[in-house]
């Protein structure tokens, strides 16, 4: 009887471990360090797009090609006059009034299309310490940096040319991690566990 009880106990804890909740987190490895950011459930189209492209290593040969101190660091698509013609697709805007362009906000770029459709590939991270309210409800924010602010600072303050390209290329490797609550806390993302995404 003891053996049966022990086996049942082991099965119970094994199943419990298999059901451990995880949280999807964006990760950007750069030549200057790593950045981690929360992916908002409130912007499901942008979140799904980011996860799909990162899983397919879409960005891994690209770089932060537009760097403007006290504004944003941007990468993922060529920033050219033709707009985002090289984007794999466009995404319907997902403007959420509570999600703003705060310092460290991660958003998707776009050209001047009237529907305000996001380019699937061009993302940016806000460097302005006071945020950029004029971008709210105009560009979709789909994430928020919680670790790697020193890396954001290093990139945003790099010397650039007249087109805002860093003089020294900042290569990127983008991935999506699935972190447990414990791992998220260890990475400094505990505040996001207390909001409505949890």
pLDDT mean over 81-85: 58
Q: Is pLDDT of 196 > 50?
A: no
C-alpha closest to that of 100 among 177, 27, 40: 40
Q: Is pLDDT of 7 > 50?
A: no
Taking the CA of residue 77 as centre, how many other CA atoms within 13 Å lie in the half-sphere pointing to its CB?
A: 24
Angle ∠(125,129,130) on CA atoms, nearest 5: 110
DSSP state, residue 49: H
pLDDT mean over 41-49: 97
- For 118-145, write each residue's pLDDT tens digit: 999 899 999 999 999 999 999 999 999 9
- For 58-73, write each residue's pLDDT tens digit: 999 899 999 999 999 9
Q: Is pLDDT of 170 > 50?
A: yes
Q: Which residues pair with 38 in a beta bridge?
A: 25, 144
CB 31 within 8 A of CB 184: no
Q: Is pLDDT of 82 > 60?
A: no
Q: Which residues pair with 171 in a beta bridge?
A: 63
Residue-range domains of the chain with CATH = 23-194 (2.40.100.10)
pLDDT > 90 in the chain, percent:
68
Q: For residue 10, what are the CA distances in angstroms to 3, 5, 13? A: 11, 9, 5
Q: Which residues pair with 75 in a beta bridge?
A: 64, 123
Q: Is pLDDT of 158 > 60?
A: yes
What is the band of 42 on the pLDDT scale with cuts at 50, 70, 90?
very high
Determine whether 101 is exposed, middle or buried from the number of CB atoms within 10 Å of its CB (0-12, 13-18, 19+): buried
Bigger pLDDT: 93 vs 195: 93
- For 9-25, write each residue's pLDDT tens digit: 455 554 555 578 899 99
**Residue 166 CB coordination number (10 Å):** 18
Tell me the two tokens of residue 124. Answer: 């940016």
3-state percent breakdown (helix, strand, coil) of the chain, nearest 5:
25, 30, 45
């Amino acid at each position: 009887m003891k053996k049966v009880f022990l086996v049942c106990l082991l099965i119970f804890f094994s199943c419990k471990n298999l059901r451990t909740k995880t949280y999807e987190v964006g990760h950007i490895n750069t030549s200057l360090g790593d950045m981690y950011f929360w992916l908002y459930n409130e912007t499901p189209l942008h979140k799904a797009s980011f996860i799909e492209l990162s899983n397919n290593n879409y960005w891994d040969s690209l770089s932060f090609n537009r760097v403007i101190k006290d504004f944003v660091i941007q990468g993922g698509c060529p920033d050219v006059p033709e707009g985002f013609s090289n984007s794999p697709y466009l995404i319907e805007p997902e403007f959420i009034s509570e999600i703003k362009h705060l310092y460290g906000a991660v958003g998707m770029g776009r050209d001047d299309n009237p529907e305000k459709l996001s380019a699937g590939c061009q993302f940016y991270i806000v460097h302005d310490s006071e945020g950029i309210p004029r971008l709210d409800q105009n560009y979709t924010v789909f994430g928020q940096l919680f670790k790697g602010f020193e890396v954001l600072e290093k990139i945003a303050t790099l010397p650039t040319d007249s087109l805002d390209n860093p003089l020294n290329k900042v290569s990127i490797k983008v991935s999506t991690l699935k972190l447990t609550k414990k791992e998220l806390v260890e990475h400094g993302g505990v505040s996001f566990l207390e909001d409505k995404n949890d």
